[in-house]
Amino acid sequence: MLTRRRRIVVAAGAALATLGIGATSVSAMDCFVVNRAVQGAYGAAHSSQWVLLDVNALLVGAGACQAAIDQVDAAMTAAGFPLVVVSRSDKTLPENGHGILHLDDPGGFFDTLINAAEAAIGGGACG
């Protein structure tokens, strides 16, 4: 699991850096709120204490084609995960049983995202 966790951290770090978020934010993030509405997530992201992760923006920044993005969106939605999440940039969020997921949750948000992206891109969605 350690290699997978490292892959997730590297992918998240690269994606966040691609989106223009500083390295200090990346190092502080471990937990993500997944039960906010998209509008609420974007609203929270206007604060310096919250960082937004938009799956589609991440995939566009990584150079994925629209067909791969559509496949990832469908896989994330089918798994019950949102396409937009937020995290605190200044502290680790405590587990509360109400929509906080961690980077290293097996089968969680990031495992699902990475597996879906690998399947879409590796499966030739982009030609």
Mean of per-residue pLDDT scores for the chain: 76
Domain-located, residue 110: no
Residue 25, in any domain of the structure: yes
Q: Is the pLDDT of residue 52 over 90?
A: no
How does 4-38 read in b/e, with b if 16+ C-beta sit within 10 Å? eeeebbebbbebbeeeebeeebbebbbbbbbebee
Give the C-alpha separation, 89 to 50, whole Å. 5
How many structural domains does the chain have? 1
Handedness of CA 62, 37, 125, 65 (dihedral sign): negative
Residue at 61 is within a domain:
yes
Nearest CA to 34 out of 72, 73, 80 is that of 80
Instruction: Decide if 14 is inside a domain.
Output: yes
Q: Which domain holds residue 45?
A: 2-102
Percent of the chain clearing pLDDT 90 (strictly above): 16
Global pTM value: 0.71
- Quick check: is 118 in a domain? no
Is 49 inside any structural domain?
A: yes
In this structure, is residue 123 part of a structural domain? no
Does 127 reside within a domain? no
The tens digit of pLDDT for each residue in 25-44 reads 444 456 778 777 888 888 88
* pLDDT number for residue 89: 78
pLDDT in tens, 74-89: 999 999 989 998 888 7
> b vs e for 104-113, b when ≥16 Cβ sit within 10 Å of the residue's Cβ?
eeeebbbbbb
The token pair at 38 is 């998209």
- Give residue-wise pLDDT tens across range 111-121: 898 889 989 88
